[in-house]
Amino acid sequence: MTRFVLLCIYAVFFVASAVPIIDYQNQEGGDIRLPEEEHLKPSTEQVYKWDEIRDDDGNYIIPFVMSKDFYDDEPAIIYDAMHEIEANTCIRFRNRSNEETFVDIINVEGKG
């Protein structure tokens, strides 16, 4: 029995030492993992651009659909963020009518 306990203790320390320790206090960005440099570059491929639809003022229109699977306060938070983007950029969000490409805002664990 003593050997089993010692083996378990050894296994715990051996496995625990294999996991890198993250220093949240001193890493750049705090507890937020910053993306790789490559992911920060904008795409130049036409297929990934939202520049098909523009309004009369030259703003880019992004059609969207929002699912109903949100808690009561969550849509308001999302709409507030969209209004902030609109106030500071040339992007305008509009409810989708018949556009082929659109943003689908969903509330699914692990997506989005």
Q: Is residue 18 part of a domain?
A: no
Q: Sheet with 103-105: list strands edge to edge.
A: 91-95, 60-66, 103-105
Q: Is residue 10 part of a domain?
A: no
Q: How many domains does the chain have?
A: 1
Q: Is residue 23 part of a domain?
A: no
Q: Range of 94's domain?
A: 47-112
Q: Is residue 67 part of a domain?
A: yes
Q: Is residue 109 part of a domain?
A: yes
* 44-72 confidence digits (pLDDT tens): 666 666 777 899 999 999 999 998 889 89
Q: Is residue 38 part of a domain?
A: no
* Total Cβ atoms within 10 A of residue 66: 19
Q: Evaluate if pTM is beyond 0.85.
A: no
